[in-house]
Amino acid sequence: MSSFTKVLIIDDDPIHNMVSSKLIEKAGFADKTDKVLSGKLALEYLNRNAKENTLPELIFLDINMPLRMVGNF
């Protein structure tokens, strides 16, 4: 049995997200990992999941992500 049901990984490197996700699931640390590539996407994810009452139990956050200005931010 896993320690957590759902974990969220926030990192701007898609390779790191994939490797981290595989390690977390293979180690049995979490049943499911969700991944997002920016802080903005993370906030959208959290808002959407809060409405559905399916928030992750743990969040891994890369604290050194450059802010990329795309569109109307």
Residue indicated by tokens 């959290």: 46
72 within domain boundaries? no
| Measured distance CA(35)–CA(20) in Å, rounded | 10
73 within domain boundaries? no
69 within domain boundaries? no
Per-residue model confidence as pLDDT tens digits over 15-32: 999 999 999 999 999 999
Q: Which CATH number characterizes residue 24's domain?
A: 3.40.50.2300
67 within domain boundaries? no
pLDDT tops 80 at residue 69: no
| Measured distance CA(42)–CA(17) in Å, rounded | 13
pLDDT category at 73 given cuts 50, 70, 90 is very low
20 within domain boundaries? yes
For the chain, give the mean pLDDT.
89
| Phi, psi dihedral angles at 72 (to 5 degrees) | -90, 95
Number of domains in the chain: 1
| Measured distance CA(26)–CA(17) in Å, rounded | 14
| Domain that includes residue 36, residue range | 4-61
Tell me the whole-structure pTM to 2 decimals: 0.84
